């Protein structure tokens, strides 16, 4: 323990020493004055002083007065310590208990009519999560990370809403086109999912990880990784896959392939316009056991006046009680 403002204690101690010195000098002067002044004669005063009861009463009073002075001095010193702000060094290592969720969005041409709706669902999902880290990757013939895993939900929603504006095609080059058409073909679902799997960090730690993939599964080209292979890869990494399908009930073969991919990882498939989709996904993700992510250790200084304040209160109470007992 150290003092944040030790000079305060030095000032208090200096004032205390000055007060004690002044009190001693005044006491000596008063004693000399009483000794030199003519007193009232009392017959046989020495016999009274020789009485045992008298001497015990004198000793008790002297001890009580000495106790009053000692407790007063101690109270002043303790008050000075409290005023000087005792602080202690403490090493803390922040631990974030959460889950990691990567949003994975197909922005190919066949998804044009529903991407804005899906991005809005992602925005609502961000509202439903508390403490989870969320990332977003978009893909067409190539994948682009829009933002990495983060628990800054204000930033997450700012980026999602910026992406939603891009789906209005009000700008010359929409945001979802930048970097997502650098490969051969379009809507390479397996490659997109595999890219989302690779976006997770802290791969050496056992953590709850999920991917929420929104796609119609309409492949147009030759991906390096098929959807089943990408799902197996996610399962090997213990990542659960949840799919949002805008063609559920319309394109049954593609829907079944998506559902099978999700089931491979222990996840589930959902229809885009199913009214409980958002709540169901949030509930499923939160069923997974949250893991702990340790942050960088830091040394901090904290105020620790509690024991000193407690001691000051005890001493002050004793001082008051002793004053009352001595009747000063």
Could you tell me the end-to-end alpha-carbon distance of the chain, in angstroms, rounded to an integer?
37
Please write the tens of the pLDDT for every residue from 196-253. Answer: 999 998 888 778 899 999 898 888 888 899 999 999 999 999 999 999 888 776 778 8
Query: What domains, with CATH codes, occur in the chain?
Result: 2-91+302-326 (no CATH), 95-294 (3.40.50.410)
Please write the tens of the pLDDT for every residue from 18-36. Answer: 888 887 788 777 767 666 6
Q: How far apart are CA 188 and CA 254, in angstroms?
A: 14
Q: How far apart are CA 159 and CA 136, in angstroms?
A: 9
Buried (b) or exposed (e) across 289-300, using 16+ Cβ within 10 A?
Answer: eebebeeeeeee
What is the reported pLDDT for 228?
93
> In this prediction, what percent of the chain has a pLDDT beyond 70?
85
**Model confidence at 96: pLDDT above 70:** no
Tokens of 264: 């491979």
What is the reported pLDDT for 192?
92
**Model confidence at 79: pLDDT above 80:** yes
What is the reported pLDDT for 223?
86
Please write the tens of the pLDDT for every residue from 114-125. Answer: 888 888 888 887
Q: How far apart are CA 143 and CA 192, in angstroms?
A: 6
As a three-state string, the secondary structure of 211-264 is EEEECCCCCECCCCCCHHHHHHHHHHCCEEEEEEECCCCCCHHHHHHHHHHHHH
Instruction: Give the full edge-to-edge strand order of the sheet including 143-150.
Output: 143-150, 133-139, 100-106, 209-214, 239-245, 269-271
What is the reported pLDDT for 321?
84
Please write the tens of the pLDDT for every residue from 248-275. Answer: 767 788 889 999 999 999 988 888 776 5
């Amino acid at each position: 323990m150290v003092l944040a403002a030790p000079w305060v204690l030095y000032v208090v101690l200096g004032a205390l020493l000055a007060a004690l010195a002044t009190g001693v000098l005044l006491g000596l002067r008063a004693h000399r004055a009483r000794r030199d002044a003519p007193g009232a004669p009392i017959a046989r005063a020495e016999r009274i002083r020789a009485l045992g009861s008298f001497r015990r009463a004198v000793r008790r009073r002297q001890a009580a007065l000495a106790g009053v002075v000692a407790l007063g001095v101690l109270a002043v010193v303790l008050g000075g310590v409290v005023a000087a702000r005792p602080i202690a060094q403490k090493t803390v290592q922040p631990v974030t208990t959460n889950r990691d969720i990567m949003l994975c969005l197909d922005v190919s041409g066949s998804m044009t009519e529903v991407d804005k709706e899906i991005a809005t669902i992602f925005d609502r999902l961000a509202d439903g999560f508390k403490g989870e880290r969320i990332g977003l990757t978009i893909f067409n013939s190539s994948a682009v990370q829009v933002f990495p895993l983060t628990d800054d939900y204000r930033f997450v929603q700012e980026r999602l809403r910026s992406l939603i504006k891009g789906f209005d095609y009000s700008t010359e080059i929409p945001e979802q086109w930048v970097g997502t058409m650098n490969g051969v073909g379009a809507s390479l679902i397996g490659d997109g999912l595999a890219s989302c799997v690779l976006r997770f960090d802290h791969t050496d730690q056992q953590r709850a990880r999920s991917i929420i993939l929104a796609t119609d599964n309409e492949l147009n080209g030759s991906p390096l990784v098929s959807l089943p292979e990408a799902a197996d890869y996610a399962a090997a990494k213990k990542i659960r896959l949840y799919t949002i399908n805008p063609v559920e009930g319309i394109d049954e073969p593609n829907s079944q392939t998506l559902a099978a991919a999700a089931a491979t990882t222990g996840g589930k498939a959902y229809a885009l316009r199913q009214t409980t989709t958002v709540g169901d996904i949030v509930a499923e993700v939160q069923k997974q056991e949250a893991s702990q992510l340790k942050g960088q250790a830091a040394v901090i200084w904290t105020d620790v006046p509690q024991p000193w304040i407690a001691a000051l209160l005890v001493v002050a109470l004793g001082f008051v009680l002793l004053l009352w007992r001595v009747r000063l």
